[in-house]
Amino acid sequence: MQPVQPWTGRPVMIAVPGRTPRQQMWRKTFPRGIAALIGTCQMFLTFGILACETLSMIVDFYHAMLFVGYWAGAFFTITWISVYGSLCCKGRGCTTYTLVTQVICLCLAICVLVIDISFLSNPFLCFYGTYTCTSSSSTTYTSWSFLASTSDIYNLKVPILKGQLAGAVLMLVLAIIYIILYIVTAVKVRGHSNAIPENRIPLQTKVPTTVGYQEPQVSSYSSTPPSLPINAKRGLATEPEEEIECYNCHNKITLPQRRY
């Protein structure tokens, strides 16, 4: 039940606390369009890195293979999903969480870069032992019709590694851009909040009044009811007797009490 004022009977408007000026400034300043573009590009780059890792595994499973595209691509997926989530949330807390994922994404992109560069310098690098790689080479080459020799592996695997390397570079650049956007927005919001008191409630967060509702006017009368004569009956209010003087005869006439 909505509370009402005791004297006027009108409903009381309950104030709802709104967002602080710093929070509203963050929602207004942060470039959501650029962030959405970054998330979309990271999504396609993630799919490209996973595809390159799959093709590299099909071409040669043992050489230059650490499955870096899979375990890095799994977190890349979390990164671009968090970007879209922060766009729906619009709050600074969600954006800060996305910033953390972008920092981790940056570190993983560097790992992919280092591993791919080492594989490009030696495409036949094997991490599973010399015996495993040499004994499985003949089986691997004859399993696929397009892998007739080691030159075919070099011609197919190196372009795939270069494509994955390019995707990691772009992922690194996008993560840096997002971090810069966050820092620039934080500086702007901090400078703006220093000029506005934190306890100030913005006008747009004020609860709208209902249709036809008007603010109660302050009355000049006393809030206490007038005192009643002692001889008044219960439940009746009376006015005191008044005396008037006749203009011609100068006699005083007493008016009776008025009850209401």
pLDDT tens-digit profile of 11-54? 554 544 445 667 778 888 889 999 999 999 999 999 999 999 99
Q: Is residue 12 situated within a structural domain?
A: no
Q: What is the mean pLDDT of residues 70-99?
A: 90
Q: Is residue 256 situated within a structural domain?
A: no
> Tell me, what's the pLDDT at 155?
79
Q: Is residue 112 situated within a structural domain?
A: yes
Q: What does pLDDT average to over the chain?
A: 75
- Flag whether pLDDT at 164 surpasses 90: yes
Q: What is the mean pLDDT of residues 198-204?
A: 48
Q: Is residue 122 situated within a structural domain?
A: yes
Q: Is residue 216 situated within a structural domain?
A: no
- Listed in sequence order, the residues at least 6 apart from 190 whose beta carbon sits closer than 8 Å to its beta carbon are none
CA distance 156 to 161: 9
Q: What is the CA radius of gyration of the chain?
A: 40
Q: Is residue 103 situated within a structural domain?
A: yes
User: What digits encode the pLDDT tens for the residues 98-129?
Assistant: 999 999 999 999 999 999 998 888 877 776 66
Q: Is residue 226 situated within a structural domain?
A: no
Query: How many distinct structural domains can be found in the chain?
Result: 1
Q: Is residue 234 situated within a structural domain?
A: no
Domain holding 168, by residue range, is: 21-204
> Tell me, what's the pLDDT at 13?
47
CA distance 31 to 169: 23
Cβ atoms of 229 and 208 within 8 Å: the answer is: no
